[in-house]
Structure 1
Amino acid sequence: MNDEKDEVTLNRSLGLWSALALVIGTIIGSGVFVRQAAVLDDAGSTTNAMLAWLAGGVITLTAGLTIAEIASQMPKTGGLYYYMEKIYGKVWGFLSGWMQIIIYGPAMIASLAAYLGILLVDFFDMPHSWTVPIALITVALVAGLNLLSNRYGATFAIVTTICKLLPVIALIGFGLFFGKEDAFAQSFSSVHQSAGNFGVAILATLFAFDGWILVANLGDEIKNPEKRLPQAITIGITLVLGIYLLVSFGVFRSMPATQIHDLGIGAIPYMAEKDFGAIGGKLLSIGIIISIVGCMNGKIMTFPRIMYAMARDHELPFAKQLSYLNRHTQTPIVSVITTVAISAIMILFFDADRLSELCIFTVYCFYVMTFVGAFILRKRHPNLKRPFSTPFFPITPIIAIFGSLFVIVSEIHSDLLGVLFSLVFVLIGFPVYYYCRKHYQIQD
């Protein structure tokens, strides 16, 4: 039975376009559509808002360039979990993976599904009682797709990425060619007393850039990963940065800052309907729906790979089942089903959006450790030929470290109880780790 199992491996079939679509698709969800007013409110002017999006993008890009170097040296399934284990040891790798598979990943999937349920109910003018069932059905359908060969999930990622870019291009194009406002000189701090908190504005943009690292979870399924993973991460983040800046510019060219502030999350839907009519508003809604489905697909495709990798290393209970690969599809179907089952429980009984927020602190703690790991690896292997080297080293990883520390400090300042909860949950992983070490008779 073990010999038969060993013959089944993950399918290394994903090329650069698939990896690139997953990077873009897992970053661009609803953030760029709903956070414009929030960033503007905190920045206090359109110029500062644009600078906040730029700063968030630059911090994310430095993080991506740093991880790209590490990924090129160890392009294995599990991504952050694998890097932490190889740099700091098995217990740190386990804790980073534990937090992602039990709360962070499922909560993000559940949060997207819940928001999607609201959008679909509103779009089709259905009773609000249908919100939760639609969220569950959507998660089940996307999960079903990812029980098939990874080619299907990757193709779906490419298609949804192309579709979600169409409304983005429309918003950008209208602002560039028909907008009449000054995108760089509008200020409204006089009507909004809390305006001008530039750091909070950057923090809001960083959350809209999150998700770029998840493609690294597919290291064993990407062709020539030493080269393709760094390319997908760096090109993907750069493209998203350009898209976010252009969308903001288009919005600020099309609407007065005070109106964007007054409309809040309804600013872009209002803009679409005003510029393109009722049909335009509907098309934008469809674009946002597709965007969220594509983002959900990327997360359902990548997070179970962490669970699979941990189970393969005998670091989880029911390791034999969770590390099972279907012989025909070569996908970790039990890990996929388990991940979406946890998400479904969160949709039914918890505030998934709040749960995902609680994990931000610990996620960024592990990010900082991994960025520092780039220095450790260079010192540990000074003569190693790296397939990809972070440009402008050490400045680039230092910016990534300080950007992540900014998020950590901000979380402590704004949500200390949430930070403590997330730390407690990580600590719960210790007995699980040592139970598995003892159960599977693994020596340290």
Structure 2
Amino acid sequence: MEELVMQDKQPTEDLKRSLGFGSAISIVIGTIIGSGIFFKQGSVLDSAGSSTMAILAWVFGGVITLTGGLTVAEIGAQMPYTGGLYVYIENIYGRILGFLAGWMQIIVYGPAIIASVAGFMSILMANFFGLGNEWRIPLAIITVGLIGLMNLLENKVGALFSVITTLGKLIPIAAIIIFGLFWGHQDAFGQTVREIHQSSGGFGVAVLATLFGYDGWILIANLGGEMKNPQKLLPKAIIFGITAVLIIYTLITVGILRFLPVATIHRLGENTTAYLATKAFGQIGGKLLSAGIIISMMGTLNGKMLTFPRIVYAMAKRQDIPFSKFLAYLSPKGKSPVTATIFIVVLAFIMMLFFDPDHLSDLCVFTVYCFYMLAFFGVFILRKRNKFAKRPFSTPFYPIVPIIAIAGGIFVLVSEIFNDPAGVILFIGIVIVGLPILYFVKKYYQKG
């Protein structure tokens, strides 16, 4: 059978191919497991209305994510280049949609998701150090700044930090699961929240909230140009990573609902995890558990800081964005996208100052799912376009899995449109603004 030959639209690869399977799966798990599972328990429960439906929301969100991961893994194995979703969409649909996919990630999704995770993390850090709410934004800015500085070094440094923090985050996760399951006295199923805000949104919004917790899996695709054998490693890292997180999230949710009654979770909201840590393990144990969760979130931030600048770099290499020569700069020794990393950090700072992290998280999921949907449909297009080509990886149970991914994506988009139409219009507007920018940038470089 003939080998699959992609259109020559990928950026020239100057980055180091030094990441193996251990680094790849650590980045997937480390990037996914961060603030969502620890800070979304209250909002998921409020929207779902009962503990049973809350658990189902986490499972349903995981299944949607897994089907999406299996679908995109087929595309990623065929296009193992730096840029991820940006490269996939461009190869399948052409320059304009590809550009918008990249623009969305570097202007809206990337900085917003970093700001959201940092915002949630700063809540726990303020509690940990006994500081007031006025310290939340400064703590978030300092942490993002320091992790950004670390990622100015070569990619092995960020990858090593991902491995360490992924191993470190297993401690608080195991503690919550074991303590909740074996020492909890509540019934994890069947508890009902009696006082729910009218705007809580129902099961659809609950699933949307869980998807923020699962989000981040596709970011490993941005490092396709830095993996040793991306055709094999990329699908494995995505599939094993998402599956592991789905199991972990379900167990954590059951553990929390076994230990705390739903009325307490409803009342505490974002502070549920900090309260559980202290209640279960005392002041000292609670501090240690909180420290573990903070380290977990730092690992998530690092994974995002490691991957998003690669999209900026890929777009700059193509001269798709203003100041491309500046943003495509790589450090001479480490071959890291230095100015692209600084660019993402600065935009994240702006997001932190002007947006609430909970609101940001939902809008991030909506925005990226608009382009996930294009990728899900893209599997059908590629199979038709390359009918007799040999694929490095094929989505199992095709076409059922991609159809489930598409149905889940429609579910996400419709839920958020009904839940927050104003926010949806704002974020879509920011994405569309990219079109005139692409036009003027291309005219500028043609003149040059």
Is the TM value for this pair above 0.5? yes
Asked if structure 2 preserves the Cα contact closer than 8 Å seen for 1:219 and 1:229, the reply is yes
Corresponding residue to 1:187 among 191, 196, 212: 191
What does 1:63-74 align with in structure 2 at a 5 Å threshold? 63-74=68-79
- Alignment CA distance shift 1:176-1:362 (3 Å): closer
Q: Aligned-pair distance for 1:39? A: 2.1
Aligned to 1:82: 87
Asked if structure 1 preserves the Cα contact closer than 8 Å seen for 2:76 and 2:221, the reply is yes
Partner Cα separation in structure 1 for residue 335 and residue 253 of structure 2? 41
C-alpha offsets along residues 128-184 of structure 1, whole Å, 9 cap, x if unaligned? 544433322212211111111100000001111111110110111112222233323
Q: Which moved more, 1:132-141 or 1:194-203?
A: 194-203
TM-score by length of structure 2 reads 0.92
Asked if structure 2 preserves the Cα contact closer than 8 Å seen for 1:52 and 1:205, the reply is yes
Q: Aligned-pair distance for 1:8? A: 8.4
- Alignment CA distance shift 1:373-1:181 (3 Å): same
Aligned to 1:329: 334
Q: Aligned-pair distance for 1:269? A: 2.6
- The AA in structure 1 aligned to 2:192 is F
Are positions 1:366 and 2:366 aligned together? no
- The AA in structure 2 aligned to 1:75 is P
Partner Cα separation in structure 1 for residue 176 and residue 139 of structure 2? 28
Aligned to 2:444: 439
SS at match of 1:440: helix
- Alignment CA distance shift 1:32-1:361 (3 Å): closer
Q: Which moved more, 1:360-369 or 1:224-233?
A: 360-369
Q: Aligned-pair distance for 1:127? A: 5.4
What does 1:341-360 align with in structure 2 at a 5 Å threshold? 341-348=346-353, 351=356, 354-355=359-360, 357-360=362-365
Q: Which moved more, 1:308-317 or 1:48-57?
A: 48-57
Q: Aligned-pair distance for 1:360? A: 3.6
Are positions 1:378 and 2:362 aligned together? no
Partner Cα separation in structure 2 for residue 278 and residue 123 of structure 1? 10
C-alpha offsets along residues 354-396 of structure 1, whole Å, 9 cap, x if unaligned? 4554444332111101100000000000111111110111010
Aligned to 2:237: 232
Are positions 1:107 and 2:106 aligned together? no
SS at match of 2:228: coil
What does 1:69-148 align with in structure 2 at a 5 Å threshold? 69-126=74-131, 128-148=133-153
Aligned to 2:427: 422
C-alpha offsets along residues 37-63 of structure 1, whole Å, 9 cap, x if unaligned? 322233233222222211110010000
Q: Aligned-pair distance for 1:266? A: 3.0
Partner Cα separation in structure 1 for residue 256 and residue 196 of structure 2? 19
- Alignment CA distance shift 1:317-1:408 (3 Å): same
- Alignment CA distance shift 1:441-1:419 (3 Å): same
Q: Which moved more, 1:306-315 or 1:254-263?
A: 254-263
- The AA in structure 1 aligned to 2:228 is K
Asked if structure 2 preserves the Cα contact closer than 8 Å seen for 1:123 and 1:285, the reply is yes
- Alignment CA distance shift 1:45-1:22 (3 Å): same
Structure 2: tracts of 5 or more residues without a match? 1-10
Q: Aligned-pair distance for 1:221? A: 0.5
Are positions 1:32 and 2:37 aligned together? yes
- Alignment CA distance shift 1:215-1:40 (3 Å): same
Q: Aligned-pair distance for 1:350? A: 5.2
Alignment size in residue pairs? 436
SS at match of 2:388: coil
Asked if structure 1 preserves the Cα contact closer than 8 Å seen for 2:211 and 2:365, the reply is no
Aligned to 1:10: 15
Q: Among the aligned pairs, what percent are the same residue?
A: 56
Aligned to 1:312: 317
Structure 1: tracts of 5 or more residues without a match? 1-5
- Alignment CA distance shift 1:106-1:253 (3 Å): same
Q: Which moved more, 1:260-269 or 1:24-33?
A: 260-269
Partner Cα separation in structure 1 for residue 304 and residue 370 of structure 2? 20
SS at match of 2:72: helix
Asked if structure 1 preserves the Cα contact closer than 8 Å seen for 2:35 and 2:121, the reply is no
- The AA in structure 1 aligned to 2:220 is V
Aligned to 1:199: 204
Are positions 1:279 and 2:284 aligned together? yes
Asked if structure 2 preserves the Cα contact closer than 8 Å seen for 1:103 and 1:355, the reply is no
Are positions 1:43 and 2:48 aligned together? yes
Q: Aligned-pair distance for 1:282? A: 0.9
TM-score by length of structure 1 reads 0.92
- The AA in structure 2 aligned to 1:27 is I
- Alignment CA distance shift 1:39-1:227 (3 Å): same
Aligned to 2:227: 222
Q: Aligned-pair distance for 1:276? A: 1.4
- The AA in structure 2 aligned to 1:336 is T
C-alpha offsets along residues 12-35 of structure 1, whole Å, 9 cap, x if unaligned? 111111111111111111111122
- The AA in structure 1 aligned to 2:207 is I
- Alignment CA distance shift 1:344-1:190 (3 Å): closer
Corresponding residue to 1:158 among 156, 160, 163: 163
Partner Cα separation in structure 2 for residue 286 and residue 390 of structure 1? 39
